[in-house]
Amino acid sequence: MAVHRKLNNIDNSGFGPNSNVEGGRLTNKDGSTNLTKTGLPFWERISLYHTLLRMSQAKFWLIIVLFYTSINVFFATVYYLVGVDKLMGIPTDGSEAMHFLNAFFFSSQTLTTVGYGHVAPNGIATSAIASIESFVGILAFALVTGMLYGRFTRPRAYLIFSDNALVAPYRGGRALMLRMATYKNNHLTDAEVLITAALHINENGKDVTRFYPLGLEYSKVNSLALSWTVVHPLDEQSPMYGYSEQDLLDSRLELIVAVKAFDDHFSNTVQQRTSYHISEVIYGARFLPMFRRAEDGSNTILELDKINLHEKAKLPEPDVTPVDANSMS
């Protein structure tokens, strides 16, 4: 059974100590907080700019295409209701579907200010609609261009993390390990990592969450050129000293990882976060090498697909020193 000792836990983690109000993990794998906010209208709770900036490429381009199509459908419907006979160049003897399709193509030409000249508005109503659409098109493309620039120039760390954290043999004892590496052709210097362990324990019959900053073998490296295996020794200074596999499961351990570094290309500090839930911690394993020398010996090859490559390993029995009852929490 794990012995909970009085260590320097932190109360400014941003999360509450009451375990009963937590829903699942505290931090998602992508570093976002696992939190849903209520009490205000939806449009007051969401930043459209941040949402578009952070979403995946596929979702972003899908939204752009849907937005462009929706505007053209809307204005094509307006032109159709006014009457396609007010648009010079559209044959009036075709089907209604063809009339709407021609109105849609005219709308797309007006929205993008291409204006081939094959179809033109004829009359005050269609000319007014076309002028409004042109104005909407200018604003829309300015916004989209700004978003593209913002997404393209946003400083990012471009880090990948191992899928699992491991409890591995370490210098005759045990250590908690995770691995990371850069996956783009960027170069990070002065990389620094901070890991906070969230442990759920029972104090005086009440389930509480305690947060502990973990001491690391190395918390900072000058250059993150190859992979970096971050090591937290499970020694006397660790809040998980003497924990068995079952003790880790009972504590519902979660590791909150924050990395910041300096990117030479951006000339800016970049950061990235992730987390490891207890279900992603493997007890009794060790990482295998993920880089090797090239066959011609000219350079080093970093195999990113092996970042989570590990094997089973036998752990030494923990040497737990009895703790004085007066120091127990």
Rounded average pLDDT over 298-314: 93
Alpha helices in the chain (DSSP H): 42-45, 48-54, 57-82, 96-111, 124-153, 245-251
Residue 174 and residue 233 in one domain: yes
Confidence of residue 114 (pLDDT cuts 50, 70, 90): confident
Alpha-carbon distance values, 322 to 3, 319, 326 (Å):
9, 10, 12
pLDDT of residue 282: 96
Residue 187 and residue 114 in one domain: no
The predicted model scores a pTM of: 0.79
Say if residue 304's pLDDT is above 90. yes
Say if residue 322's pLDDT is above 50. no
- Residue 320 in contact with residue 3, Cβ under 8 Å? yes
pLDDT of residue 71: 94
Residue 145 and residue 221 in one domain: no
Name the domain boundary from 153, 188, 211: 153
- Residue 86, domain extent: 47-153
Count up the domains in the chain and report the number. Answer: 2
pLDDT of residue 17: 72
Say if residue 83's pLDDT is above 70. yes
CATH for 73: 1.10.287.70
Rounded average pLDDT over 262-279: 91
149 inside domain: yes
Residue 166 and residue 300 in one domain: yes
Residue 102 and residue 32 in one domain: no
Confidence of residue 60 (pLDDT cuts 50, 70, 90): very high
Among 283, 274, 303, which Cα is nearest to 167's?
283
> Nearest 5°: phi and psi at 328?
-85, 145
Residue 142 tokens read as 């300015």
Residue 98 and residue 203 in one domain: no
Task: Report percent pLDDT > 70 for the chain.
Answer: 92
**31: phi > 0 → left, psi -120 to 50 → alpha, else beta; which?**
left
327 inside domain: no
Residue 309 and residue 190 in one domain: yes
Given CA atoms 52, 53, 55, 59 in this order, what sign does their dihedral have?
positive
Rounded average pLDDT over 131-150: 91
Residue 187 CA neighbour count, 13 Å, CB half: 7
74 inside domain: yes
* 219 vs 240: CA distance, rounded Å: 18
Residue 49 identity: Y
User: What integer best gives the mean pLDDT of the chain?
Assistant: 86
Task: Report percent pLDDT > 90 for the chain.
Answer: 50
CATH for 232: 2.60.40.1400
- Residue 73 in contact with residue 100, Cβ under 8 Å? no
Rounded average pLDDT over 251-275: 92
The gap from C-alpha 206 to its chain's centroid, in whole angstroms, comes to: 33
3-state secondary structure of 274: strand
pLDDT in tens, 207-239: 888 899 999 999 999 999 899 999 999 999 999
Say if residue 21's pLDDT is above 80. no
Among the residue ranges 89-93, 188-192, 284-288, the one predicted with the least confidence is 89-93
Say if residue 13's pLDDT is above 80. no
Rounded average pLDDT over 46-63: 89
Among the residue ranges 66-75, 89-98, 105-114, 294-303, the one predicted with the least confidence is 89-98
* 265 vs 156: CA distance, rounded Å: 11
23 inside domain: yes
Residue 101 and residue 231 in one domain: no
The owner of tokens 């900036």 is 53
Name the domain boundary from 131, 153, 175: 153
* 274 vs 281: CA distance, rounded Å: 14
181 inside domain: yes
pLDDT of residue 324: 40
1 inside domain: no
pLDDT of residue 256: 94
Residue 138 and residue 241 in one domain: no
307 inside domain: yes
Say if residue 92's pLDDT is above 80. no
* 261 vs 188: CA distance, rounded Å: 6
Confidence of residue 318 (pLDDT cuts 50, 70, 90): low
Q: What pairing do the DSSP bridges indicate for beta strands 281-283 and 165-170?
A: parallel
3-state secondary structure of 222: strand
* 302 vs 292: CA distance, rounded Å: 7
Say if residue 168's pLDDT is above 60. yes
Residue 147 and residue 26 in one domain: no
Rounded average pLDDT over 253-259: 95
Residue 16 tokens read as 């509450």
256 inside domain: yes
Rounded average pLDDT over 153-177: 93
Burial of 50 (0-12, 13-18, 19+ CB in 10 A): exposed
Cβ atoms within 10 Å of 121's Cβ, excluding its own:
20
Among 280, 234, 214, 278, which Cα is nearest to 252's?
278
Residue 83 and residue 186 in one domain: no
* 135 vs 117: CA distance, rounded Å: 18
Residue 32 and residue 64 in one domain: no
Name the domain boundary from 114, 136, 153: 153
pLDDT of residue 279: 93
Residue 177 CA neighbour count, 13 Å, CB half: 24
Residue 10 identity: I
Confidence of residue 120 (pLDDT cuts 50, 70, 90): confident
